[in-house]
């Protein structure tokens, strides 16, 4: 398999379907895969053809976490410099994904272990198959859940669930992952793509500048005091106004107040008419 093949992707109807593509290795993340994933994310991020990115896995796994052979053993054999480089490459693409320009959805089709929690958390939304299985398996092979995984469960789960998950290494299925809020929801495997497509289309129907501002705001304010958050949100909205060349918020108000063509409590304004709409200043 060539280096390019470890990540596959296609773009259809403004949805970029990006897949971990080492099914024979349960999509575990090698340094090669991490480097390739960064290239793919880079190529898609500002493409006009892409409005939403979905991250999924080929075969039975979403991702079986870090590659114990290539990421850990072989890299450690090369020394500390190589270890740090591998960490930078893995953490680098997860960070890139956390602050991605487009909204992102993790479509968790199967196994999701350990290091896989990094990209899982990096995606804005996550939909799992009921049949998917999640686990912090690190404890089973003698390490703590590193690479951000401990932070992910503490941020997303209750302390009791996070501690249980980290200390026992027991697996949970998609339904429990949804109940624990590790993912937004779970659906039968047979309905997974359909549900993710439906969700992606909801996101595609929103103002993209507002989506980027909102997703960053949700992550940023978590670490802020109320006053800092209040101020950040004012500045972020003012910056979004500057970046939104369609002046979407004025158009959104116009279609509701003047045209009465939709109700913001019930649906989105019609983006397709924003740029050329009368009343646009
Ligand atoms: N690192 C390195 N190799 C891995 C791997 C990983 N994280 N996960 C799977 N593989 C490899 C296996 O070694 C095997 O290689 P081989 O065909 O050369 O023998 C191949 O992928 C298939 O794995 P296998 O264990 O036979 O598949 P399975 O479907 O029976 O089991 C898992 C799937 C995910 C339960 C199992 O592979 C597993 O426990 N993987 C490790 C999970 C883990 O602890 N990840 C955390 C890392 S931070």
pLDDT means per 10 residues, the chain with 281 residues, are 80 98 98 98 98 98 98 98 98 98 98 98 98 97 95 98 98 98 98 98 98 98 97 97 95 97 97 62 37
C-alpha 23 – ligand 1 centre gap (Å)? 10
The domain of 215 spans: 208-273
Are 222 and 137 in a shared domain? no
- pTM equals 0.96
Render pLDDT for 65-102 as a digit per residue (tens, 0 to 9). Answer: 999 999 999 999 999 999 999 999 999 999 999 999 99
Pocket test for ligand 1, best of 26, 133, 168 (most atoms within 8 A of CB): 26
Provide the domain count of the chain: 2
User: Looking at ligand 1, which residue's alpha carbon is closest to its atom 44?
Assistant: 137
215 lines ligand 1 (CB under 6 A): no
In a domain, 278, yes or no: no
Which of residues 164, 181, 204 is at a domain's end?
204
The span from the CA of 59 to the CA of 206, in Å, is: 32
Domain CATH for 81 = 3.90.226.10
- Could you count the other beta carbons within 10 Å of the beta carbon of residue 154? 14
Edge to edge, what strands does the sheet with 61-63 contain?
61-63, 111-113, 133-135, 172-173
In a domain, 10, yes or no: yes
């Amino acid at each position: 398999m060539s280096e390019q093949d470890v990540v596959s992707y296609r773009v259809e109807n403004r949805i970029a379907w990006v897949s971990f593509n080492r099914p024979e290795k349960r999509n575990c993340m090698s340094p090669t895969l991490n480097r390739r994933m960064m290239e793919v994310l880079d190529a898609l991020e500002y493409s006009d053809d892409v409005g939403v990115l979905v991250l999924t896995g080929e075969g039975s796994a979403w991702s079986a976490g870090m590659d114990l052979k290539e990421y850990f053993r072989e890299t450690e054999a090369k020394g500390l410099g190589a270890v740090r480089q591998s960490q930078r490459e893995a953490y680098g693409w997860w960070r890139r994904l956390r602050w991605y320009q487009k909204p992102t959805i993790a479509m968790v089709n199967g196994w999701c272990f350990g290091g896989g929690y990094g990209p899982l958390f990096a995606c804005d939304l996550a939909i799992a198959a009921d049949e998917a299985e999640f686990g912090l398996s690190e404890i089973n092979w003698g390490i703590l859940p590193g690479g951000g995984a401990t932070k992910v469960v503490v941020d997303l789960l209750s302390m009791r669930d996070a501690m249980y998950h980290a200390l026992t290494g027991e697996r949970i299925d998609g339904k429990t992952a949804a109940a624990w809020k590790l993912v937004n929801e779970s659906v039968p495997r047979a309905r997974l793509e359909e549900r993710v497509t439906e969700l992606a289309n909801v996101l595609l129907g929103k103002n993209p500048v507002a989506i980027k501002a909102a997703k960053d705001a949700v992550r940023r304010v978590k670490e802020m005091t109320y006053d800092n958050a209040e101020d950040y949100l004012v500045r972020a909205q003012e910056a979004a106004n500057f970046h939104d060349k369609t002046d979407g918020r004025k158009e959104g108000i116009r279609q509701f107040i003047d045209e009465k063509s939709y109700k913001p409590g019930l649906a989105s304004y019609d983006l397709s008419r924003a740029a050329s709409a009368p009343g646009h200043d």
